[in-house]
Amino acid sequence: AYTFYQDLRLNQPVFPMSSGGSNSSWIITKYDHVKELLKSPSFIKDQNKLFSQSSREEMNADELNIFQNMMLDVDPPDHTRLRKLVQPYFNPKTIKQLEPRITEIAQELLEEMKHKKGSVDLIDDYAFPLPIIVISELLGVPVEDRNKFRKWSNTIVAASDNMTADFQEDVEAFTAYLTSLFEKRKAEPEEDLISSLLQTAEEEEQLTKAELYSMVVLLIIAGHETTVNLIGNTMFALFEHPEQMSKIKFDQTLIPSAIEEGLRFYSPVDFSTARWAEEDMEFHGQEIRGGDLVLASISSANRDEEKFSHAEQFDVTRSKNAHVAFGFGIHFCLGAPLARLEGKVAIEELLSAFPNIDLNRTMNRPEWKPVFLLRGLSQLPVALN
Ligand code: HEM
């Protein structure tokens, strides 16, 4: 995929993916163009605006839709209002306070790994459970329910590629689960994000019912697969580049910059979510029409030679690493401080527990999951040595 992007950046940076029917889809591959797209108010998130003014309200009046009202899918002023409600929970300062607890969770998982007989899979045994436990605690979702989320969240993420038969069923189960959790927290509020959102929804009427569900679903899903990929992809890149691994083992203060390089080199989110051109326009030599779908290739932008010197090299000491792995503009990842902290703690603790950890080279080379929007490994078998 990376050579394909390189070719597009050189020859067709605003690339028409399809032009069947009345509207086209485009992929944007150059770093500067990606940033321009993501910050431009002419590319909007709410597709319904293109057709009718009131359809969002009409949709809300319908049955409960747990996807249609996420901050990620709406424009200002709704976006501003929704984001403001949860922003305080995700500020770097607030997030930093979670460090001791994240460390504890990492250490518990590593302890379990020590006692595991047979092969250890860094994804299943470590990268996956860590972020899901952290986000569950932050939201106030009972940790023992987290396996249910794995299935629901997988089905929902996979639905961006192909609808599985389970989709409708899983969505209903997820909705029902949240309804009963909300009931519990309403009756007995706790010090968690869900209790606080419920209060806001009730007292200040700043949040509709559908928005409340969507918010919780978004936070669970967004904080889930992505951070798993960050930990897995960065470790994989380190295994592939033993000289870089040696550098961070020698100087652990390089771990945060190794995380940034992991984010750039194997970006966990390959593409931005969809944006629609609000009206006809020219974008770097191409005529884009109102209603066209435009996707920013984050992976491509992060390998743009015009922006990053020796872009194809994985370099844990890279300075001024202004990657766009967390997006750009008003939808810039809300969870970036949390993801960065989880990544740092995960790798620090892993390397201090198992300084000689390496890929299990007797197994096949790990493979990327065949998901279009996200880049992550399905397995990462390791030898703890
Ligand atoms: C938005 C990446 C972890 C919550 C985004 C966007 C990207 C991204 C690229 C923007 C999408 C677009 O503009 O189309 C990542 C990566 C992560 C990560 C690479 C991990 C390495 C998290 C975590 C959370 C989170 C841990 C929270 C629990 C969100 C939310 C948005 C978002 C709520 C929507 C923000 C908005 O619309 O204003 N993320 N994310 N993310 N992310 Fe993350």
pLDDT digits (tens, 9 = 90+) for 276-327: 999 999 999 999 999 999 999 999 999 999 999 999 999 999 999 999 999 9
- CB under 6 Å to ligand 1: residues? 38, 71-72, 83, 135, 218-219, 222-223, 226-227, 230, 268-269, 272-273, 298, 325-327, 331, 333-335, 338-339
Centroid of ligand 1 to alpha carbon of 301 (angstroms): 17
Contact by Cβ (8 Å): 270, 371:
no
Q: Please give the pLDDT value at position 110.
A: 97
Which residue minimizes the CA distance to atom 35 of ligand 1? Answer: 331
ipTM field: 0.97
Least confident of 196-210, 286-300, 367-381: 196-210
Hey, which of 133, 226, 294, 345 would you mutate to test ligand 1's pocket, going by the most ligand atoms within 8 Å of its Cβ? 226
Distance 51 CA to ligand 1 centre (A): 27
**What is the rounded average pLDDT of the residues 323-349?**
98
Task: Report all structural domains of the chain as residue ranges with CATH numbers, in order of start.
Answer: 2-383 (1.10.630.10)
The pLDDT assigned to 50 comes to: 78
Per-residue pLDDT at 20 exceeds 70: no
CA distances from 285 to 40, 57, 212, 294 (A): 17, 37, 41, 15
CA dist 112 and 227 (Å) reads 20
**pLDDT, tens only, 53-82:** 555 555 545 567 787 789 999 999 999 999
Ligand 1 center to 222 CA (angstroms): 6
Model pLDDT, residue 63: 63
Which two structure tokens, joined as six digits, stand for 251? 């100087």
Specify the pLDDT at position 161.
Answer: 61
* pTM for this entry: 0.94
